[in-house]
Amino acid sequence: MDDPSVAVIESQGVSVTADRGLLIASLRYFDQAGGFAAAVREAVGRALPEPLRAFQIGSATQGSYVMLAWRSPTESLLLTNDLAAFDAG
């Protein structure tokens, strides 16, 4: 691959791709309906995910995406390749 932001490791029929352009943040909050949750909703256009759920807006093939995944009652993970969304989250 010619893209320096992507690393590929292949061994014994297994291929792992690491996208160095992926930004990850742990979003921690006390109230899933509080001010922080409202700011996340405004930034990404959807509420924080419900327990054991995740959602994605956009896709890598469309250029940019944001994914939010529930991790615990007070934490969700934000994964994105969109620096503006990352900064807003």
Total count of residues recorded for the chain? 89
In the chain, the percentage of residues whose pLDDT exceeds 90 is: 43
Q: Which two tokens stand for residue 2?
A: 């010619």
Contact present, 8 and 15 (Cβ < 8 Å): yes
- The whole-number average pLDDT for the span 16-39 is 88
pLDDT digits (tens, 9 = 90+) for 51-74: 999 999 988 777 888 999 999 999
Q: What are phi and psi of 64, to 5 degrees?
A: -145, 155
Q: What are phi and psi of 28, to 5 degrees?
A: -115, 140
**Cβ-based neighbour number of residue 58 at 10 Å:** 15
Sorted by where each begins, the domain ranges of the chain are 21-88
Cα(72)–Cα(60) distance, rounded to whole angstroms?
26
